[in-house]
Chains A and B, each alone.
Chain A
């Protein structure tokens, strides 16, 4: 059994590839069900943001697990063959997969090291996985640990103080076009998390007029209230665009919402005053040829990354500390994972022994005829004592060796000596048990924690809901 991650990110794939692989939130559940239907995949989480598409999975076998997940990714978009995809993918297993997840959560792998959106996005992805029961014992524990590591990194290092996010880059660019943001108007198209953050940032930097449009008018009204702005009907925003100095676009639409001719018209109406367009959507929502329109300045997510790249070095010092923290935490979770593998073995071993004892007792007691209650007790006690004495050694050894390098070997040996993998005697994590475990989590995952996660950030959920519209 291995934990693996297969995916691609802004570091390995251009936006053209990422936008094709991105899974809209509305289809995430379906994707998770599909992922778990592959043989050998026990648990799965899909993290799909504009900067990365990653699949975390618990698989029975490493090689076939990699193959299945890659198959899953290639199947997600029919126009992408597995061959086209491979050069952009990375694969990690076990400690390295966990380390990758922790680094992603702690924003050490982000475009802007230290930005905070990724944590929210991971929480959302986890929540969907929980709702669809695709995340089980192992991923639950690992993802929760990732979230707590990320929080620790944020509070104990200065990584988040200098780096804010893509929104920081957006503000910086805006300040190279407009000297005074105070008199400027920003138009928010869609309510993606990043766009909202960027809008918040722009407002913090002086922007006073905000126009909001979303497909769901209620959403726009809510946001208008939040940003003290005005909401605009979605089908009219193109004609209102001329009033905006900054257009922030982040929707889940799969086609271009703002075309070159819309921008040309807006620039004409603005009498050539510059207009700054930021497209944070993946797939992109603003036609790329807008960049050729005079006095219109279009930046997509990759452009922002480029801008951010230069600032990255300054943050390296803090990042090094954070990396060390991540390493420690990976060690901690690694220990837990090893012991986890031992626990089902111990349980299975006890069940097996109990089963044998029971059946032998039944046979013997049947032959002995009528016994007094005391005699019966003595016979049963004898059987239990033999079984317990016999099991004591192996159980203690298993527990002790769980944390050693050869821990898995002992587990494997115990399973074979006692024939624990016989389907009639033990059924590690079959479909029924997985469901059962999720419904009745093991003590390691307390119900409180689970409910805590399902209640994560209702606001952000609300905010992204129109992305899929």
Chain B
């Protein structure tokens, strides 16, 4: 576990440096900074993967049972998605938005207790719920970032401010597609995550749902994204509206998390 924490701290440091470089890249005309930022992020990701693997070996199960682990995994998956998009589309500027978010979630993870919890046997499968929910959340986070970038680019185009940011941001419809793709992928994952959580709860507590505030809030979030997704597919809630909605939705997700963590509930929804 010591090695894992050390790798974790290294990762955090690298993501911090990567964030600084990516933000500098955002404000400077030069493209050279993107190479440094990407290299640092790549090394950070390798270190992060090693940290998770070390932890998994130490715990003997998938390291996704505590909030600390969940947040760390979230950050890892977010960077993974970014690197995937980067490799395919070469949109460096995405890093300027995603990496700060990844860093932020790592920092919040660092504030949480790091010991591996000992789980009752009935909760051994809770990692399925956490993994799926977290992957769904990664989708929403990407949609959130795409939404913010969309609104910035939309504003720049509307106000005809052709600055450095304008030249670096990708085309509007790319951002809208990214937003759509993220929700379309994230929503089913969250749905499965919630179902897995309900099944775990049924095993652990004998009820699928006991309508505590966190569960209720999670269902409201799910419903919200359901409406957003349906709105897009049927009545054209895309572009600017989709951007706003996904930003609001992600704010809801973050609030749910904070609520759950502050209440000190177990990992089960």
Residues of A whose CB lies within 8 Å of any CB of B are 173, 175-179, 270-274, 291, 294-295, 297, 299, 303, 306-307, 310
B153 touches A303 (CB 8 A): no
Q: Which of A179, A291, A297 contacts B174 (CB 8 A)?
A: A179
Task: Decide: A178 and B160 in contact? CB cutoff 8 A.
Answer: no
Contact partners of A178 in chain B: CB under 8 A: 171-173
Which of B153, B162, B238 has the largest count of A CB atoms less than 10 A from its CB? Answer: B162
How extensive is the interface on chain B, given as a class?
Answer: 20 to 34
Expressed in whole angstroms, the Cα–Cα distance for A303 and B166 within the complex equals 14
Taking CB atoms, residues of chain B closer than 8 Å to A307 are 160, 162
> What's the minimum C-beta distance from A274 to chain B, rounded to whole angstroms?
6
Which chain A residues border B171 with CB–CB below 8 Å? Answer: 175-179
The complex places the Cα of A173 from the Cα of B172 at a distance, in Å, of 11
B239:A272 contact, CB within 8 angstroms:
yes
**A272 vs B241: C-alpha distance when bound (angstroms):** 9
A interface SS class:
mixed
Chain A nearest CB, measured from B55 CB (Å):
39
Any chain A CB within 8 A of the CB of B240? yes
In chain B, what residue has the closest Cβ to A292?
Answer: B158
Kindly list 20 other residue pairs between chains A and B, CB separation below 8 angstroms, not including A274-B239, A303-B160.
Answer: A173-B157, A176-B166, A176-B169, A176-B171, A179-B174, A271-B235, A272-B236, A272-B238, A272-B240, A273-B173, A273-B239, A291-B158, A294-B239, A294-B240, A294-B241, A299-B160, A306-B160, A306-B162, A307-B160, A310-B162
What are 15 contact pairs spanning A and B, CB under 8 A?
A: A176-B153, A176-B157, A177-B171, A179-B177, A270-B236, A271-B235, A271-B238, A272-B238, A273-B236, A273-B239, A274-B173, A291-B158, A306-B160, A306-B162, A307-B160
Contacts of A272 in B (CB 8 A): 236-241
Q: How far is the CB of B37 from chain A (nearest CB, A)?
A: 22
- CB-defined contacts of B153 to chain A, threshold 8 Å: 176
Q: Does B170 contact A (CB under 8 A)?
A: yes
A295 to B169, CA, bound (A): 17
Cβ contacts B156-189/A at 8 Å (1 or 0 each): 0110101000100111111011000000000000
Residues on the B chain within 8 Å of A177, using CB: 157, 171-173
Residue of A nearest to B237 (CB): A272
**Which A-chain residue is minimally distant from B169 (CB atoms)?**
A176
Among A177, A270, A272, A299, the most chain B Cβ lie within 10 Å of the Cβ of A272
- In chain B between 229 and 245, which residues have their CB closer than 8 angstroms to a CB of chain A? 235-241
> A295–B170 Cα gap in the complex (Å)?
16
Given contacts A272-B241, A295-B239, A295-B240, contact A179 B160 (CB under 8 A): no
| 8 smallest beta-carbon distances between A and B, as pairs | A271-B236, A179-B174, A179-B171, A272-B236, A272-B239, A295-B239, A177-B172, A272-B238
Residues of B within 8 A of A294 (CB): 239-241
Interfacial chain A residues near B170, Cβ < 8 Å: 179
Cα–Cα distance between A179 and B238 once the two chains are bound (Å): 16
- Please name the residue on chain B nearest to A300 by beta carbon: B160
CB < 8 Å A-B pair total:
53
Residues of chain B contacted by A175 (CB below 8 angstroms): 171
For A298, the closest partner residue in chain B by CB is: B158
Q: Hey, which chain B residues are within 8 Å of A291, CB to CB?
A: 158
Complex Cα spacing A319 to B73, Å: 56
Instruction: Please measure, in the bound complex, the distance between the C-alpha atom of A175 and the C-alpha atom of B171, giving whole angstroms.
Output: 6
B238: chain A residues at CB < 8 Å are 271-273
Instruction: Mark each residue of chain B from 123 to 145: 1 if its CB lies under 8 Å from any CB of chain A, else 0.
Output: 00000000000000000000000
Interface string of B41-52 (1 = CB under 8 A from A): 000000000000
8 Å CB contacts to A: which residues of B185-212? none
**Alpha-carbon distance between A299 and B241 when the two chains are bound, in angstroms:** 22
- In the bound assembly, the distance between CA atoms of A274 and B170 in angstroms comes to 15
Q: How far is the CA of A303 from the CA of B153 in the complex (A)?
A: 16
CA distance A272 to B237 in the complex (A): 7
With most chain A CB atoms within 10 A of its CB, the pick from B153, B172, B237, B241 is B172
Chain B residue with the shortest CB-CB distance to A295: B239
Which residues in B have their C-beta under 8 angstroms from that of A303? 160
A299→B240 CA distance, assembly (Å): 19
Q: How far is the CA of A256 from the CA of B176 in the complex (A)?
A: 31
Query: What is the CA–CA distance of A310 and B164 in the complex, to the nearest angstrom?
Result: 11
Q: How far is the CA of A297 from the CA of B155 in the complex (A)?
A: 10
Asked if B236 and A179 sit within 8 Å, CB to CB, the answer is no
| Smallest CB gap from A184: residue in B | B173
Task: Give the docked Cα–Cα distance between A459 and B70 (Å).
Answer: 68
* Given A271-B236, A274-B239, A297 and B158 contact (CB-CB distance below 8 Å): yes
Question: How many Å from the CB of B174 to the closest CB on chain A?
Answer: 4
Shortest Cβ distance from A223 into chain B, in angstroms? 27
Q: Shortest CB–CB separation between residue B160 and chain A, in angstroms?
A: 5
> Chain B contacts of A297 at CB under 8 A?
157-158
Which residues from chain B contact A179 at a C-beta distance below 8 Å?
A: 170-171, 173-174, 177
| CA distance in complex: A314, B157 (Å) | 23
> Which B-chain residue is minimally distant from A181 (CB atoms)?
B171
Q: Chain B: which residue is nearest A309 at the CB level?
A: B162
**Closest Cβ of chain A: how far from B242's Cβ, in Å?**
8
Q: Which residues of B contact A176 (CB under 8 A)?
A: 153, 157, 166, 169, 171-172
Shortest CB–CB separation between residue B244 and chain A, in angstroms? Answer: 11
